Structure formats: structure tokens, C-alpha cells
Amino acid sequence: MAGRIVDLRREIDKLQADLVHIDGVLKLYGLEPAEIPNKGRMPVRSAYFGRNELSRRCRDALREKGSIRADDVAVQAMRDKGMDPEADRKTRADFIRRILVSLHDLRKAGMVDKIGHGRGVRWTAKEQMAADQD
């Protein structure tokens, strides 16, 4: 069974990489991949986070700071859980990935806006952006 799990994880990694390439091609043709409906995703539980903890952490950080980066939220979460974000890069990368999923879900719900692309992307709450424009 353990071997099968390893094989399936490899397949998932390959499919996720393929999806990134497909998204890139769609953007070349002026399409926004996030606007294309999908079949949904199956949430993958984490031993580190409780139900809705990640989206709650993101919303709290947005209220506190106005704009955030996923890495900043991940570092704080690791420190809160007694982990060293500098020493455990693999767990940090997993936290960042999970936080980005939560932020994208909040974006789909119309609660946050994404500013920029790539590693420097920042996220702001919709209310914060309206207050900044006034």
C-alpha cells in the first residue's frame, strides 16, 4: 500500500505540473484559468491545521496588516506551532501551498484581491482596497 501511495503522489505531482502548463497556454490566448469552472477539489487534511483554520488565519492577518503574502502567514503559523520556518523548508513549502489554496478560495468568494503574480504576489481584503481608494 505504501508503494501505491508513493506512485499516486508522483502522478498527482505530474498532473499538477501539467495543469500549470495548460494554465500558461490559456493565458497566452487571453483566457483566465480561474474563470473556467472545474469539478471542484477534494480537501486534503493536514495534521497541522484544524477545519477552517487556514482561511481564518488568512482573514485575521488581512484584518491586522491590510495586505499579506502567503509566506508571511506560513512563517507565523509555523512559529505559533513551535516550528522553525528556516530549518524545515519542506513543511514551510507545504504550509505556503495550503495557504495559497485558501487565499484563492477567498478570492473566488469575492473576499480578497490578488495583487501581482509569482512569488511577490500580495493579497488584500476587499474592504481594505475600498478604504484605500477613498
- Amino acid identity, position 48: Y
Buried b / exposed e over 71-92, threshold 16 CB at 10 Å, is bebbbbbbeeeebebeeeeebb
pLDDT category of residue 42 using cuts at 50, 70 and 90: low
Domain boundaries, the chain: 1-36, 48-134
* Percentage above 90 pLDDT, the chain: 49
Q: Per-residue pLDDT for 44 more than 80?
A: no
Q: Per-residue pLDDT for 56 more than 80?
A: yes
The CATH number of the domain covering residues in 48-134? 1.10.10.10
Distance of alpha carbon 58 from alpha carbon 2, whole angstroms: 34
Mean pLDDT of 3-8: 93
Torsion angles phi and psi, residue 114, rounded to 5: -100, 130
* Percentage above 70 pLDDT, the chain: 89
Q: Per-residue pLDDT for 73 more than 50?
A: yes
Can you give the pTM of this predicted structure? 0.62
